[in-house]
Structure 1
Amino acid sequence: MHDINESIKQLISTQYPNIKGLIATRHGEVALEYFASGFSNQTSIHISSVTKSIISMLFGVALEQGHIKNVEQRVLDFFPDYSLKRGEKTLPHLRLKDLLSMTAPYKFRSEPYTRVYSSYDWTLASLDLLGGKGEIGLFKYTTPALHVLSGVLSNATGQKVADYANHQLFAPLGIDPVKNITLSDRQQHLEFTRGTTERGWVADPCGVNAAGWGLVLSTLDLIKLANLYLANGLWDGQRLLSSSWIQQSTSEQSRSGERRYGYLWWLMPHMSNNCYCALGDGGNALFVSPNDGVVVAITSHFMPRPKNRVTLFTEHLLPMLVSKS
């Protein structure tokens, strides 16, 4: 088995050079570890859009605790002071499930990064972009406008998202708390996305944490979070998430062509073993294969157009991990 592990490590170092950390477990036991020089399982790294799936987990916690009744609730129920724009007819009908499944319509064609992240209140800026004349139910992947979900969580729980995550999710898993990170200008944004190691979670000037990106965790943290899903929401005898939420969030809720999506989780294409994953820009990823008891966490420094992590998992990692049993 040593030779198999060494061949995988050689593959990673040569063909996936921006991977800085990888941990694979099977049935909760570490089966493979890889760390680039200068990195360890506790080195923090920006996990990009894998943050979205952590937000999904926090929605599961909030549902379990009764802060949110169900995903059929209207988005505007959580923003009673929001003033609708003249002529806006779609936004009042949007439900939480429309945001979680990326099927809400927006008033833009390309991602409005500057408009949202240069504003003082990212939640308000995102709400202003929701709705319009588009049709509810069509898949439209977005990152900045997803910030509405952080506003929902913050208003529903009465806490900042990072605080809620620290107390209700991270602490029970033995994950060190994260603090708010504030980025004041474009240069700081660029420096952050290109390789921060400052543990925390990006927040807007109002202190509301980003929903679509901005979380800085370690590979070890990620493997714990993924194993919580594999364990159907139980950790050391404590229920953190309902098994029904895990089933809902990792079942098909929307699709675009062959791409299938749950509630802020991607469903693996062309696989019959119910695999699902969280994918982040630059090659950060979480893979969960419940039928095989396999979980893989990958952290990566940003690079444009990295080699496909899904292929790495399906063609190399999963076959190797299953064959070791």
Structure 2
Amino acid sequence: MNIRFASIIILAAFLCTLTSKSFQAAALHSEQLLPPQSFESTAYSEVKSIPYITLSNGSTQSDNGVSKIRYWPDNEWRSSSPEEQGMDSAKLAGMFREIKNKSYEVHSALIIRNGYMVTEAYFQPYDKNTKHEIYSCTKSITSAVFGIAMKEGYIKSTDQKVLDLFTEYKIRNKDSYKKKLTLKHLLMLTPGTYYRDIDNMFEHLPNNYVSEYLDLKLIREPGKTFVYDSFASHMLSAVIQKTTKTTTLEYARKKLFNPLGISDINWPSDPQGISLGGWGIQMLPEDMAKFGYLFLRKGLWNGKQIIPSKWIEESTKKQISTPAQYPVSGGYGYQFWINNKFDGYRADGGGGQMIYILPKYDMVIVFTGAWGNVESTSVISKFVVPAVKSNKALPANKQAYDELKAPIEE
């Protein structure tokens, strides 16, 4: 058996404080992320190596990228050199130089191609066992759970009227716009709400999120205009919880997380016990990668269709255009952003918590940190996508691979 070594690059960086009230508020309801903060230390730790099993013992891709998969990362990811997966180590090494030179505050960086971890890096003091709050990546997980609930018949259709599902509330401002509001409008973030009303809800969190949201006055017809409304996402969780008669967390644990081998997860709830639909999940970077890989594999995991492939298709294609204030957006799906600089789509959370899914390149990329989606998109465009050279293994390139493995020092 041919055994080689792949590296987990352990990079050191100063931990900047991210818990200020202003940052948390911004991260919850805006994907216009904070500018990168400067490192106070550029010392990087020594590289450590772990063994990996070569491609012949792992994944052989078919045309649809699914049928010939030899393993699923239920318990752990298998590692590989970039060259074994048709990627150039020198290009990936350039990404880490860019991160260092521009003082991007990245906490972790993971790249999976063909089902293999070709790069896994953690910036000190973070490591692979550090859970991160993923902020608005929560929205994409809520969407996935919503799709499962639809498959199982708990939710009849995305065309269901929202008011019909919450008849127990005495709702104010029940005008023609509100009567038209559907679940699809919530999924697309086109509910007709006024962004300042959403900001005000975050500044003064109500005792009952659902009741307060249903009472908001809509200023435009639903379905026409994108507005970044995290409470619309929370309403999706309320629908899941109401129809399945269990918390969204417990339903997701049974139907989504357990099948993927995800156990170390926190998902807080609102004062009524409804799992937060638009923000709040804390999870490990490797588990974020599993979620992305499930979407890359069109909802299939280890022989079981976890999420309907049709839901994957619908939720990750452009459903609505987004304004110019979102410069790396090619539109919005059902709680997923469409990439506009390269293939695919992403779950996008405040502070640079990102799950990029690039089907064209059979790749999932995960970042956590305190930078922004503009910066992460830039390094992917400049280094990760150009690193893909072939769908077949490349010849070994010891010099480039050693450069990738080496400590990044000046």
TM superposition score normalised by structure 2: 0.68
Percent identity between matched residues is 29
Give the equivalent residue in structure 2 for 1:135. Answer: 221
- Separation (CA, whole Å) in 2 of partners of 1:236 and 1:306: 31
Say if 1:16 and 1:168 are closer, same or farther in 2 by CA, change over 3 A. Answer: farther
Which residue of the other structure, out of 278, 284, 294, is the alignment partner of 2:363? 294
8 Å contact 1:294–1:321 — kept in the other structure? no
Give the equivalent residue in structure 1 for 2:272. Answer: 206
Give the equivalent residue in structure 1 for 2:138. Answer: 51
Deviation string, structure 1 residues 203-256 (Cα, Å, up to 9, x no partner): 111111211111111110110000000111111111110100000001111113
8 Å contact 1:42–1:220 — kept in the other structure? no
- Separation (CA, whole Å) in 2 of partners of 1:321 and 1:244: 28
Say if 1:152 and 1:9 are closer, same or farther in 2 by CA, change over 3 A. Answer: same
Q: CA deviation at 1:28?
A: 0.8
- Separation (CA, whole Å) in 1 of partners of 2:359 and 2:182: 29
Give the equivalent residue in structure 2 for 1:181. Answer: none
Q: What SS does the aligned partner of 2:321 have?
A: strand
* Gapped regions of structure 1 (runs ≥ 5): 179-199
Matches within 5 A, 1:170-181: 170-178=257-265
Q: CA deviation at 1:177?
A: 4.9
8 Å contact 2:94–2:383 — kept in the other structure? no
Matches within 5 A, 1:267-286: 267-271=338-342, 273=343, 275-286=344-355
Q: What SS does the aligned partner of 2:108 have?
A: strand
Q: Aligned AA for 2:212?
A: A
Q: CA deviation at 1:117?
A: 5.6
Q: CA deviation at 1:308?
A: 2.2
Which residue of the other structure, out of 243, 253, 265, is the alignment partner of 1:166? 253
Q: CA deviation at 1:307?
A: 5.3
Q: Aligned AA for 1:315?
A: K
Q: What SS does the aligned partner of 1:201 have?
A: coil
Give the equivalent residue in structure 1 for 2:382. Answer: 315
- Separation (CA, whole Å) in 2 of partners of 1:135 and 1:244: 27
Give the equivalent residue in structure 2 for 1:263. Answer: 334
Q: CA deviation at 1:107?
A: 4.6
Q: What SS does the aligned partner of 2:270 have?
A: coil
Say if 1:113 and 1:153 are closer, same or farther in 2 by CA, change over 3 A. Answer: farther
Q: What SS does the aligned partner of 2:348 have?
A: strand
Q: Count the aligned residue pairs.
A: 299
Which residue of the other structure, out of 97, 105, 109, is the alignment partner of 2:196? 109
Q: Aligned AA for 1:223?
A: A
- Separation (CA, whole Å) in 2 of partners of 1:322 and 1:72: 43
Q: CA deviation at 1:13?
A: 3.4
Q: Aligned AA for 1:100?
A: L
Matches within 5 A, 1:1-325: 1-15=88-102, 17-86=104-173, 88-109=175-196, 111-114=198-201, 118-129=205-216, 131-136=217-222, 137-178=224-265, 200-257=266-323, 259=329, 260-271=331-342, 273=343, 275-300=344-369, 302=370, 308-322=375-389
Q: Aligned AA for 2:280?
A: G
8 Å contact 1:26–1:321 — kept in the other structure? no
Return the index of the structure with the highest Cα Rg.
2
Deviation string, structure 1 residues 105-145 (Cα, Å, up to 9, x no partner): 1155353354676322212222222x524122211111234
Deviation string, structure 1 residues 31-56 (Cα, Å, up to 9, x no partner): 21111023223310111111111111
Say if 1:307 and 1:16 are closer, same or farther in 2 by CA, change over 3 A. Answer: farther
Q: Aligned AA for 1:313?
A: I
Say if 1:19 and 1:11 are closer, same or farther in 2 by CA, change over 3 A. Answer: same
Moved more, 148-157 or 256-265: 256-265
Say if 1:257 and 1:236 are closer, same or farther in 2 by CA, change over 3 A. Answer: same
8 Å contact 1:44–1:216 — kept in the other structure? yes
- Separation (CA, whole Å) in 2 of partners of 1:320 and 1:239: 31
Moved more, 116-125 or 235-244: 116-125
- Separation (CA, whole Å) in 1 of partners of 2:356 and 2:366: 7
* Gapped regions of structure 2 (runs ≥ 5): 1-87, 395-410
